[in-house]
Amino acid sequence: MTAITTTVTRLQATGRRPQVAIVLGSGWDGIADAVQDAIDIPYAELPAFPALSVAGHAGALRLGRIGGHEVALLRGRKHVYESGDAAAMKGPIRTLAALGCATVVLTNAAGSLDSSMRPGSLMLIGDHLNIVQRTPLHDEPGDARFVNMADAYDPALRQRAKDAASAAGIALHEGVYAWVLGPQFETPAEIRMLQRLGAQAVGMSTVPETILARHAGLRVLGLSMLTNMGCGMEAEVLSHAHTLQTAGATRALAARLLQAVVPALLPPLP
Ligand code: HPA
């Protein structure tokens, strides 16, 4: 049996049938407290899931319900910068698809490239720039690897998310997310380049997961928490501690957004 088959079997034995999966990036973990009937399975018990190393990520799968809907929360992700492996999240994404999830919500912390989008605010990802030009699909056989990336961030789900945020009174920007490899932050010249290329946010995750999810036939919703302005835009000095500090301060708002948005993602679109 492959690692994915073993992991799917292990998760099916819980009797849970998650319809929506949420990958929780820095600052987004507050929603975990709102899950009812939660059961936790450490990634270490799931052979298709990665071992994690970044502070602020719990490394466990939480299955339960939000607003009456079955969900799977991935509390932490493996970044490509940790190993150089662009397919680091292949196991989890394919496991979720095999479990029957139709939709995945990918969340992250990102730097803002737009002076009107302030640290501590939230952004819906409308599209992305794969600046790294790496793919998690390089060893995929067959024509399915030529994934159509038009509407990678599902327009109907985006509309549902915007409506739900607005009904909950939560401001939600929308913009293009640029994936950089990291773990070093950008130079001021790189930030100016990304602005000219049309990005509103920059971060070190999500894009490979979006590609994997689209390849697996999942619909994707992407959400960024803007934790800082891009390097050189303002006087602040960037650090991972600074990202985690703003993420902590925005944690409750992010949890409220997900509590409003997740129920709106169901029923699944045809
Ligand atoms: N750049 C890249 N990744 C990030 C940033 C940033 O400014 N902030 C949070 N993640």
**Interval between CA 203 and ligand 1 midpoint (Å):** 5
Q: Is residue 270 part of a domain?
A: no
3-state secondary structure of 104: strand
Q: Is residue 142 part of a domain?
A: yes
Pocket test residue of 228, 236, 245 for ligand 1, highest count of atoms within 8 A of CB:
228
pLDDT value at residue 54: 60
Mean pLDDT, range 175-184, rounded to an integer? 97
Place of tokens 């600046």: 131
Question: Given a cut of 80, is residue 58 above it in pLDDT?
Answer: no
**Interval between CA 109 and ligand 1 midpoint (Å):** 7
pLDDT value at residue 253: 96
pLDDT value at residue 237: 82
pTM above 0.85, yes or no: yes
Q: 103 is in which domain, residue-wise?
A: 3-77+86-264
28/18 Cα distance (integer angstroms): 19
Q: Is residue 269 part of a domain?
A: no
The DSSP secondary structure of 21-80, one letter per residue, reads EEEE-TT-GGGGGG-EEEEEEEGGG-TTSPP--STT---EEEEEEETTEEEEEEE----H
Of all helices (H) and strands (E), which one includes residue 229? strand 219-229
Handedness of CA 244, 246, 252, 257 (dihedral sign): negative
Question: Given a cut of 80, is residue 267 above it in pLDDT?
Answer: no
Q: Is 25 in the pocket of ligand 1 (CB under 6 A)?
A: no
**Interval between CA 6 and ligand 1 midpoint (Å):** 35
pLDDT tens string 192-233: 999 999 999 999 999 999 999 999 999 999 999 999 999 999
The DSSP secondary structure of 133-144, one letter per residue, reads ---TTTT--SGG
pLDDT value at residue 100: 94
pLDDT tens string 76-122: 999 999 999 999 999 999 999 999 999 999 999 999 999 999 999 99
Pocket test residue of 132, 185, 236 for ligand 1, highest count of atoms within 8 A of CB:
185
Number of structural domains the chain divides into? 1
**Interval between CA 204 and ligand 1 midpoint (Å):** 7
Written as six digits, the tokens of 46 are 């799931």
Q: Is residue 8 part of a domain?
A: yes
CATH number at residue 208: 3.40.50.1580
Question: Given a cut of 70, is residue 57 above it in pLDDT?
Answer: no
Q: Is residue 234 part of a domain?
A: yes
Grade residue 184 by pLDDT with cuts at 50, 70 and 90. Answer: very high
**Interval between CA 226 and ligand 1 midpoint (Å):** 8
